[in-house]
Amino acid sequence: MSPLLDMREVRGGYGDADILQGVSLNVAPGEIVAIVGPNGAGKSTAMKAIFGLLHVRGGKITIDGKDITGLKPNLIVQAGVCYVPQVDNIFREMTVHENLEMGAFLRSGDQTRAYDRVYGLFPDLKERRKTLAGNLSGGQRQMVAMGRALMLDPKVLLLDEPTAGLSPRYMEQIFQICRDVRDDGVALLLVEQHAKQALAFSDRGYVLASGANRHEGTGAELLADREVAEMFLGG
């Protein structure tokens, strides 16, 4: 299958120095792909490069064959990529429903279907639609953040460390939500600090180190790889 999101030999960084020294990865429709690696490997930076949040100096990023390299975030959203930042990814002083409304800010017309879909995926949120998002638990906040991004009906959802700071119970819940979102027809690319768990539940994974590709393969392959295990997964 041809890739939905394709990133080839991308180099770039925030200032003058290149944090990414040529990263290549792709995501096919209906896939969950994890990016793992040690601290400072450029995992989140690679994700921000896709979303136009840093200066890309080389390489090419396409979505459905369309070049999105260096476009502004709002245009990338229109191309079908939505991004959930790691922190500050909800409007705390607004209700759950208002958070979803903000997700659909650029959409005009009736959004009933979009709301039904998000509330269908996250029944917890439907019960709490009038609650302030800041008063929710960590797992529920992550649902709000993902729900907000899903309101724009993206083809690919980028999640930056969705389980950071969550208890193991919530981590499993978020992974289950990711599967539900995938089964709903959205491909996912996520950056994960919890490498073992992430690779175990993802379809494929990429191991980055020092801003470049180190290993790639299915989750099971990577988990079975001795070098990967020793380097990044704590033996």
What does the binding site for another protein look like in residue numbers (CB under 8 A)?
73-74, 77, 83, 85, 88-94, 98, 101-103, 105-106, 148
Distance CA 110, CA 202 (A): 34
Least separation in angstroms between residue 19's CB and another protein is: 20
Least separation in angstroms between residue 28's CB and another protein is: 25
Nearer to another protein, 81 or 199 (CB): 81
Nearer to another protein, 92 or 179 (CB): 92
Nearer to another protein, 3 or 147 (CB): 147
Least separation in angstroms between residue 141's CB and another protein is: 12
3-state SS string over 4-38? CEEEEEEEEECCCCCCEEEEEEEECCCCEEEEECC
Distance CA 76, CA 52 (A): 8
* Residue 76 and residue 56 in contact, taking contact as beta carbons nearer than 8 Å: no
Nearer to another protein, 43 or 97 (CB): 97
Most distant CA pair in the chain, distance: 53
Nearer to another protein, 188 or 228 (CB): 188
Where does residue 111 fall: left (phi above 0), alpha (psi -120 to 50 degrees), or beta otherwise? alpha
Distance CA 83, CA 184 (A): 17
Least separation in angstroms between residue 162's CB and another protein is: 15
* Residue 93 and residue 132 in contact, taking contact as beta carbons nearer than 8 Å: yes
Least separation in angstroms between residue 105's CB and another protein is: 5
